[in-house]
A and B are shown apart, each in its own frame.
Chain A
Amino acid sequence: MAEAQLCAVKRAYLEYEEFANSKLCGRCLPCLVAAPLVFDLLNRLQKGRANKRELEELRFLAQGVVLTARCKFGQEALEKLGKSLEEAALEFEAHCEGNCPQHACPELIRYRIDPERCTQCDLCRALCPTGAIIGDPYVPYSTDNHPYFILAAKCNGCGVCVSACPENAIELV
Chain B
Amino acid sequence: MNLFDILGPIMVGPSSSHTAGAVRIGRVTMKLLGSVPKKAEIYLHGSFADTGVGHGTDKALIAGLLGMEPDDMRIPQSMEIAKEMGVDFCFREKHFREAHPNTAYLRVVDSNGKKLELQACSIGGGRILINEIDGIRADFNGDKPTLIVRNEDKPGHVAFVTTTLANAGINVATLVLNRSKRGGDAVIVIETDMNIPIEAIKEIENVSGIHKVTYLNLQE
Tell me whether A and B are bound partners. Answer: no
